[in-house]
């Protein structure tokens, strides 16, 4: 009787293998799902932060690229706020930004608390401060590990020309031509052939204002005229059918003005003069043209209002722009 009761008790406590196996499977599945969920969450966090980091530095780089070389330098030099520290390593300036401490925007961007930035601003020229490589790196934490993204760009100090280059936009010729049927041909004088030759925009010998060689073009409103005046070898004939090339020749007068008896070219359409500014190295200088202070127009009849220069017919010597410029050290014009 005792044995039978024990057997009965064992039978009552017995758990079928199928149930145990099912429970193990369920628990294993739950554990696997939990692990997968955690991994998915971590990957999602990494992807989310990575996307935010890339967007942040892309916007910062875009902001930097809208600035001039001098404007960027001035902005960085004036950065003196909580959350920003600066240090120097030979030719490299390092600017570190702590997102938690920073309460202001930097380069137009709000920095999240869990993001830190580092700017490496390297002077690429050994002796002169004329070109910088800028690397922006963003650091962020993902599950206890530091991740980062970085993008680089360069800024080069603008090499300002001695004067504004000839503007070949159609609106600069609108008073000389009607409609679309015209052709503008840049020309230069050749001391070898003793004639004018057809040239192209970008030719370094097209003009030289220091030598009184103003930029010249021929404007033909009839296509047949170019074939008559310009030979296949590019040589320009002086007279054709009783007409002279000077009937079609125009010269470029860059934006300029005078002060205290001196003549200054002005930058773009502004009133700011172009002046030689020395860039100092250890014991010598690199002389660059830079944009300096402004000077007034010569007169109401000779001002450059929103334009970089004017084209004037070479025979129109009574033109105010022509007269004033022809009486500077860059004149009288050399017409050969």
Domain check: are 111 and 229 in the same one? no
Domain-embedded: residue 163: no
Domain check: are 178 and 306 in the same one? yes
Domain-embedded: residue 297: yes
Domain check: are 176 and 314 in the same one? yes
Distance CA 279, CA 157 (A): 11
Domain-embedded: residue 119: yes
Domain-embedded: residue 267: yes
pLDDT of the residue at 15: 55
Domain check: are 142 and 208 in the same one? no
pLDDT of the residue at 135: 96
Say if residue 142 is exposed, middle or buried (CB neighbours under 10 Å; 0-12, 13-18, 19+).
Answer: middle
Domain check: are 214 and 279 in the same one? yes
Digitized pLDDT (tens) for each residue of the chain, 336 residues in all: 545 555 555 455 555 666 666 666 776 677 766 665 666 556 666 778 888 999 999 999 999 999 888 889 999 999 989 999 999 888 899 999 999 999 899 999 999 999 999 999 998 877 667 889 999 999 999 888 899 999 999 998 877 888 999 999 888 988 888 766 788 999 999 988 899 999 999 999 999 999 999 999 999 988 788 888 999 899 999 888 888 999 999 999 999 999 998 999 999 999 999 988 777 666 666 667 778 889 999 999 999 999 999 999 999 999 999 999 999 999 999 887
Domain-embedded: residue 116: yes
Domain-embedded: residue 62: no
Domain check: are 203 and 306 in the same one? yes
Domain check: are 150 and 289 in the same one? no
Domain check: are 146 and 174 in the same one? no
pLDDT of the residue at 282: 62
Domain range for 107: 67-156
Write down which residue in 156, 184, 216 finishes a domain.
156
Cα Rg, the chain, nearest whole Å: 37
Domain check: are 271 and 304 in the same one? yes
Write down which residue in 122, 156, 190 finishes a domain.
156
Domain-embedded: residue 305: yes
Domain-embedded: residue 137: yes
pLDDT of the residue at 10: 45
Domain check: are 84 and 113 in the same one? yes
Residue found by looking up tokens 């722009």 in the block? 321
Say if residue 191 is exposed, middle or buried (CB neighbours under 10 Å; 0-12, 13-18, 19+).
Answer: exposed
Domain check: are 84 and 221 in the same one? no
pLDDT of the residue at 278: 75
Domain check: are 175 and 312 in the same one? yes
CB 312 within 8 A of CB 321: yes
pTM exceeding 0.75: no
pLDDT of the residue at 179: 67
Please give the tally of structural domains in the chain: 2
């Amino acid at each position: 009787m005792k044995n039978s009761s024990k057997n009965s008790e064992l039978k009552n406590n017995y758990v079928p293998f199928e149930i145990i196996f099912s429970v193990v499977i369920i628990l294993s599945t739950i554990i696997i799902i939990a692990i997968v969920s955690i991994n998915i969450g971590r990957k999602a966090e990494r992807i989310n932060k990575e996307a935010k980091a890339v967007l942040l530095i892309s916007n910062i780089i875009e902001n930097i690229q809208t600035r001039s070389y001098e404007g960027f330098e001035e902005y960085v030099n004036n950065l003196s706020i909580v959350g920003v520290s600066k240090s120097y390593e030979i030719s490299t300036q390092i600017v570190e930004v702590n997102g938690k401490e920073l309460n202001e925007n930097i380069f137009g961007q709000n920095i999240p608390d869990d993001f830190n930035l580092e700017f490496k601003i390297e002077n690429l020229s050994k002796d002169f401060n004329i070109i910088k490589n800028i690397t922006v790196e963003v650091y962020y934490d993902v599950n206890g590990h530091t991740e980062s993204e970085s993008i680089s760009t360069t800024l080069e100090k603008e090499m300002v020309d001695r004067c504004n280059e000839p503007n070949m936009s159609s609106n600069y010729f609108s008073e000389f031509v009607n409609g679309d049927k015209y052709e503008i041909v840049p020309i230069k004088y050749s001391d070898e052939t003793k004639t004018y030759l057809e040239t192209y925009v970008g030719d370094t010998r097209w003009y030289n204002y220091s030598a009184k060689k103003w930029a010249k073009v021929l404007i033909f409103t009839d296509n047949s005229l170019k074939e008559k005046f310009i030979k296949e070898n590019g040589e320009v004939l002086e007279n054709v059918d009783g007409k002279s090339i000077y009937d079609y020749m125009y010269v470029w007068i860059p934006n300029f003005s005078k002060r205290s008896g001196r003549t200054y070219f002005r930058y773009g359409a502004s009133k700011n003069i172009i002046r030689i500014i020395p860039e100092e190295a250890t014991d010598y200088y690199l002389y660059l043209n830079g944009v300096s202070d402004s000077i007034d127009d010569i007169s109401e009849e000779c001002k450059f209002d929103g334009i970089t220069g004017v084209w004037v017919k070479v025979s129109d010597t009574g033109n105010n722009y022509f007269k004033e410029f022809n009486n500077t050290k860059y004149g009288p014009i050399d017409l050969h």
